[in-house]
Amino acid sequence: MNALEVRAALSLALVYVLRMMGLFMVMPVLAVAAMDYPDYSPLLVGLAVGGYGLTQAALQIPMGMLSDRWGRKPVILLGLSVFALGSLIAANADSLTVMIIGRVLQGAGAIAGAIMALATDVSREAQRAKVMAIIGIAIGFSFYLAVLVGPVIANHWGLSGIFAVTGILALCCMPLITWAVPGVSQRSSGDVLPQARHIRQLFVSPQLWRLNVSVMFLHMMITLLFVQLPVTLLHFDMQLDSHWKLYLPVLAISIVGLTIMMGAARGRTPKPLVMLAAAFMALAFAMLGLQHHSQWLAFTAIALFFTGFNYLEASFPALVSSIAPAGQKGSAMGIYASFQFFGAFLGGALSGVVTDHFSAQTAYLVGAGAAGIWLFLLTGLKEASRVKRVSLQMQVPGERHGSLSDALKTLAGVEETTIATSEGMVYLKVTKDFDQHQADALIKSYET
């Protein structure tokens, strides 16, 4: 990568770390700290934990499309401002109801698509995978850091302190976006941002539908877990400020498990490993639902859960990328992200309703049952080979597009072609046998 790409990758990764930490820090502490509010109830706690997911799900695709019209940086700065406002409201909340309003506003700052589009705009095709990998690592790191730091901050400054820190972190992102990230003015391709004309078709795609529902279950379960787990740990005489002592070894074990599973996958995403990871999560919820104040059983269950969660969180986006049609990855990922965040809302609401009417143990068992349904849906998932996506510019007359597409399909390594006339682009899904010089030469022959 050149200096411009390194600067952009590190700046955007830092923005992701600061923003996602703000969303995640509250998860391991809210269920306990919220007991001090006058309108406390398990249902309101669930909505407070997962409330941000509802607006994230609703606005993820529109905000991405808007960044193509207004520009990346204005939309990102707008999203950060809304996120900071939501954090300020939550920090000053004197009831869970007001906190939920703040959390919903936090979610309205749905800028993930715009950030990814900006990362694409400022990087060359050959270096784009490295830039995205740096940002992906930052997202994972922010989750681990938030789970460990959140209880410590809550112990010293309470929930108000966490939301205040969250708002400050969002404001710190603004100068990074304004001055540290290089600016460009261009429209992104259909492989980067959602396109309205693709949405309906991708919604009903059998394989993508399974992945979208899968990521909904995945995030439903982690939100459900964090609505219940902090209270469960209190039964083991673990006060909030010491919860990190359990999370640290659990996360370390889960990273080892993730490494072993990734090694076994050998660069692919085998269906048996996907099923195994989901089974780990189902077993974890069953163990938590059936444990009778057994700390070691709970510890084992949490380690199993995070091993499965980490593997699927890392693997599902690659599957979406492999399955989505050429030129439609942006739309597919936008739908995927919407299901992901809706799952967070669903997990919080479901956990709150079940706990309100039954018990925390029942909520764990409901999670195990949901995981069983999810496993059944995964039986219909087909394995997809990893592919590379290539976008090539062209100036070929419209009447020659059909013959160009047919000619490109004859090249070694080309699996799928899509020509976007309005964008002047050719989108390809290719294997390692693909020779881009041949494709460039073929396109030039059709331009003359």
List the chain domain ranges. Answer: 1-188, 194-386, 388-447
The C-alpha atoms of residue 285 and residue 362 are separated, in whole angstroms, by: 10
Dist. CA 205–CA 212, nearest whole Å: 10
Short-list 71, 81, 90, CA closest to 109: 81
Say how far apart CA 444 and CA 442 lie, in whole Å. 5
pLDDT by 10s per residue, the chain, length 448: 888 888 888 899 888 888 888 778 999 999 999 998 999 999 999 999 999 999 999 999 999 888 888 888 999 999 999 999 999 999 999 999 999 999 999 999 989 888 888 888 888 767 777 887 788 888 888 888 888 899 889 888 989 999 999 999 999 999 999 998 887 655 556 677 788 878 888 888 889 999 999 999 999 999 999 999 999 998 888 888 888 888 999 989 998 998 999 888 877 778 999 999 999 999 999 999 988 778 899 999 999 999 999 999 988 988 888 888 888 888 888 999 999 999 999 999 999 999 999 988 999 999 999 999 999 999 999 877 778 888 888 888 888 888 998 999 999 999 989 888 777 888 899 988 899 999 999 999 888 7
User: Which amino acid, one-letter code, is at 36?
Assistant: D
Angle, helix 128-175 to helix 3-24, in steps of 10 degrees: 60
Structure tokens at 439: 């494709």
**Distances, alpha carbon 178 to alpha carbons 68, 152, 227, in Å:** 17, 31, 36
Give the Cβ contact number of residue 179 at 10 Å: 10
- Determine the pLDDT at residue 183: 72
Edge-first strand listing for the sheet containing 414-420: 388-393, 425-430, 414-420
Residue (of 238, 280, 244, 257) closest to 367 by Cα position: 280
pLDDT of residue 184: 66
Which among 158, 149, 362, 344 is positioned nearest to 251, based on CA atoms?
Answer: 149
Residues near 286 by Cβ (< 8 Å), separated by ≥ 6? 364, 365, 368
Topology of domain 388-447 in CATH is Alpha-Beta Plaits (3.30.70)
Domain 1-188 and domain 194-386 have a common topology:
yes
Q: Amino acid identity of 199?
A: I
Q: Output b/e per residue, 118-143; b: 16+ Cβ within 10 A.
A: bbbbbbeeeebeebbebbeebbbebb
Predicted local distance difference test score (pLDDT) of residue 236: 87
Which of 294, 326, 314 has its CA nearest to residue 416?
A: 326
Instruction: Tell me the C-alpha distance between 339 and 375, whole Å.
Output: 17
pLDDT for 347 equals 95
CATH superfamily of 194-386: MFS general substrate transporter like domains (1.20.1250.20)
Check if CATH label 1.10.260.40 holds for domain 1-188.
no
Under a CB-based contact definition with an 8 Å cutoff, are residues 8 and 119 in contact?
yes
Q: What's the confidence (pLDDT) of residue 17?
A: 83
